[in-house]
């Protein structure tokens, strides 16, 4: 009888640890993993929706307008006749939204 009570008490401790470990993983998911996935999805949608004439900002801080899109590269017009070719991944969705005042 004493052995059964002892085993039951140890099992409760293990269940408490499993619950604590599970809750830590759940908290990490909602505060770290989920927001990062949401930000990546928004960035992907922004780059796919980019079109000629849009004002953009590169991750290097260069402001300009999209002149042409060719696959993974973008021609950005800085001034009349001055154009640079950058990778699509170098266009910052966050900085562009701040510069244009959109959400």
Count of helix runs (H) and strand runs (E) in the chain: 3, 4
> 70 and 37 in one domain?
no
> 59 and 35 in one domain?
no
Q: Which of 27, 49, 71 is the last residue of a domain?
A: 49
Would you say 95 and 61 are in contact if contact means Cβ atoms under 8 Å apart? yes
> 18 and 60 in one domain?
no
Q: State the pLDDT confidence band at 97, using cuts at 50, 70 and 90.
A: confident
> 87 and 42 in one domain?
no
> 24 and 40 in one domain?
yes
> 78 and 91 in one domain?
yes
> 31 and 62 in one domain?
no
> 45 and 19 in one domain?
yes
> 44 and 91 in one domain?
no
> 103 and 59 in one domain?
yes
CA dist., res. 79 & res. 81, Å (int): 6
**For residue 63, what are the domain limits?**
52-103
Q: What digits encode the pLDDT tens for the residues 13-30?
A: 788 888 999 999 999 999
Q: Which of 49, 68, 86 is the last residue of a domain?
A: 49
Alpha carbon separation from 40 to 31, 37, 48, 60, 102 (Å, rounded) = 15, 5, 12, 19, 18
- Model pTM score: 0.69
Helix, strand or coil for residue 75? Answer: strand
Asked whether the predicted pLDDT for residue 78 surpasses 50, the reply is: yes
């Amino acid at each position: 009888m004493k052995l059964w009570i002892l085993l039951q008490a140890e099992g409760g401790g293990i269940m408490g640890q499993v619950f604590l470990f599970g809750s830590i993983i759940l908290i990490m998911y909602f505060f770290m993993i989920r927001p990062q996935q949401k930000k990546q999805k928004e960035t992907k949608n922004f780059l796919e929706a980019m079109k000629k004439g849009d004002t953009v900002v590169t991750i290097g801080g260069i402001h300009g307008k999209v002149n042409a899109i060719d696959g993974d590269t973008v021609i950005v017009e800085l001034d009349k006749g001055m154009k640079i070719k950058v990778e699509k991944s170098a266009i910052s969705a966050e900085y562009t939204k701040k510069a244009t005042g959109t959400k």
